[in-house]
Amino acid sequence: MKFSEREGFAPQEQPLQYSEVPGWVREAFVNLVGSSVAEFAEASDGPTANVFANALYSHLKPEIWKVLKGEPPKSPMFGPWSKYIPELFKFCEWWQFYDLCEEIHRFIETKYGDDNAEIVAQKTNELFSNEGIVWRFKDGLIVRAMADPLSRKIEEAHVLLGEARFQGPDTQFRKALAHLNRRPEPDLENAIKDAVGALEGVARIITNRPKDTLSEILPSLSGARIPKPLYKAFESVYAYRSDLPGAGHGQVGPSSVGISEAEFVISLCAAMIIYLAR
């Protein structure tokens, strides 16, 4: 360790904001894609890396035009990949960067298959993790990284909601996560609304009371089915959702909900859905 690190004088690394993509990360991603495609081309009978790069350039021309404020030439000097795609990633907005990551993943998937696209996704996730980026590839989409316990609860909830009878709550819970992952700004109020709505849907299904609200259903579950201390937690989550501006009532001012608060409520709903479904 350096002296400054041993003695505590070195500045501590801070997690990057959701809306920040440093230049070195943008450049590293472009290099990552280029080297990966070169490996894929050597290992397959498909197009060479250069042909692939030109095809990707043509595919991304509308984005290049929009970001660089001009139509890229059909045959630019030094080749389209080496000149214009790095410029595209250098100057695009942060949310456009992640849109482009998804677009490239889909393009590689089409050209080289699911396995190779997943290789690029894994390499990208490793890059983002090492650089403190709080987004990750998951199933071909860029989503917010969450703590492992929360991720596991959400996955478990998805498995249980995969049963045919829970199709409605499953759709609503997925909408909650989509609101959380929306760019450039997450829709936190609707993320909470749909997470609690999915919980309410599960309660309606297991009690066969399709028109009642969660607050109307909960008394019938109190006692043997939901112990009193846990019952209060269910009540509190529903009350929080009902009192939240923009979710339970009309919003008249800026949102007061933070990302940590929204993730906390979604994690509670995931755990409660698992509890009720079981």
Average pLDDT of the segment spanning 208-215: 93
- Which residues are bridge partners to 90 per DSSP? none
What are the Cα distances from residue 181, in Å, to 8, 101, 127, 175, 236?
36, 15, 20, 10, 25
Q: State pLDDT tens for residues 140-173.
A: 999 988 777 777 888 888 888 989 999 999 999 9
Average pLDDT of the segment spanning 257-262: 86
Single out the residue of 111, 120, 124 nearest to residue 25, CA to CA: 124
pTM: 0.75
- Look at residue 248 in the predicted model and tell me its pLDDT: 45
Percent of the chain residues past pLDDT 70, beyond the cut: 83
Q: Please report, as a single letter, which amino acid is at residue 15.
A: P
User: Would you place residue 97 in the very low, low, confident or very high pLDDT band (cuts 50, 70, 90)?
Assistant: very high
145-150 contact pairs (CB < 8 A, 24+): 146/263, 149/267, 150/263, 150/266, 150/267, 150/270
Q: Please report, as a single letter, which amino acid is at residue 211.
A: K
